[in-house]
């Protein structure tokens, strides 16, 4: 196994920064479980694996594609590449995909996230969406970068299992709604309908829109939505964590699908 070159180490460590992810058109996946999950995605374009001597034993348990270059790095070099407190010493670089919504074949439900700028929250939502079979997520301008290391790590390696469309404006969202015939459903704390009842009214071809925890959805988005959805609660808490709200909504949709299919 060859040692990683100084240039490789420099370029890989730079992937912490958005400008270099854009420049090199690649991103970083760290940790053996996240790498194993990512490698199971058909759309992943892995470029090279970097591993410390202590982490070499993990390689045998990974479904590595034939011919993938593997390079050895030191523990000190691993600490410079990863941003974790205790890096596992194994890193995969992959080609950064660029998805265009204009050519997409959308499958309900689609998630639209407006100005969700916390990368940890975004990664958690991606992982949750994958669990419930969501295939597409739309991100508004001023949202977190899904390829940021914290977001990739929070997704547990499931980012490449779905398509994330960035910089999707409200005008774009109108076009997507027109193209698909999907109903745009906005989450709102008041003057809204619980999801099970809403589905009886709107059907199941849906774009579910969620806003940031700090500000919720903008008035501009609320003004163009077809329906407003709420998650009923009994306690005195003002609102749910965003990731929890997404999970509860997708769980309700899944239960409704199972019941309607007699499962």
Q: How confident is the model at residue 82 (pLDDT cuts 50, 70, 90)?
A: confident
**What number is the average pLDDT over the span 137-149?**
97
Contact present, 232 and 224 (Cβ < 8 Å): no
User: Among residues 22, 18, 78, 16, which one has the least CA distance to residue 51?
Assistant: 78
The β-bridge partners of 193 are 229
Catalogue the E-assigned strands of 7-155: 26-30, 46-52, 70-73, 90-95, 110-114, 136-139
β partners of residue 251: none
Q: Residue 237: which H helix or E strand, with range?
A: none
pLDDT in tens, 20-66: 999 999 999 999 999 999 999 988 999 999 999 999 999 989 999 99
Domain range summary for the chain, segments of one domain joined by +: 2-95, 101-260
Q: Give me the CATH topology for the region 2-95.
A: 60s Ribosomal Protein L30; Chain: A; (3.30.1330)
**Is residue 83 over pLDDT 70?**
yes
> Looking at residue 238, what is its pLDDT?
75
Mean pLDDT of 197-226: 89
Helix, strand, or coil (residue 129): helix
CATH class for domain 101-260?
A: alpha beta
Kind and range of the H or E run holding 2: strand 2-3
Does the pLDDT at position 256 exceed 70?
yes
Q: Are strands 227-230 and 163-165 parallel, antiparallel or unpaired?
A: unpaired
Contact 90, 32 (CB under 8 A): yes
């Amino acid at each position: 196994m060859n040692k990683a070159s100084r240039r490789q180490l420099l370029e890989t460590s730079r992937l912490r920064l958005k400008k270099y992810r854009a420049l090199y058109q690649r991103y970083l996946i760290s940790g053996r479980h996240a790498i194993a999950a990512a490698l199971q995605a058909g759309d992943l374009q892995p470029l090279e694996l970097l591993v410390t001597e202590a982490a070499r034993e993990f390689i045998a348990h990974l479904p590595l594609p034939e011919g993938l270059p593997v390079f050895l790095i030191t523990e000190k070099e691993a600490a410079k590449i990863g941003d974790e407190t205790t890096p596992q010493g194994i890193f995969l670089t992959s080609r950064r995909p660029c998805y265009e919504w204009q050519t997409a074949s959308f499958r309900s439900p689609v998630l639209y996230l407006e100005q969700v700028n916390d990368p940890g929250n975004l990664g958690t939502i991606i992982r949750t969406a994958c669990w419930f079979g969501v295939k597409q997520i739309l991100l508004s301008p001023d949202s977190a970068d899904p390829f940021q290391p914290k977001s990739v790590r929070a997704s547990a390696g499931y980012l490449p299992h779905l398509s994330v469309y960035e910089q999707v404006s409200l005008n774009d969202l109108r076009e997507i709604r027109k193209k698909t015939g999907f109903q745009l459903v906005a989450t709102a704390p008041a003057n809204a309908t619980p999801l099970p009842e809403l589905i009886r009214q709107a059907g199941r071809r849906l774009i579910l829109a969620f806003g940031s925890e700090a500000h919720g959805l903008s008035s501009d988005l609320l003004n163009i939505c077809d329906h407003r959805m709420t998650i009923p609660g009994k306690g005195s808490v003002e609102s749910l964590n965003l990731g929890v709200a997404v999970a509860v909504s997708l769980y309700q949709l899944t239960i409704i699908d199972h019941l309607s299919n007699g499962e």
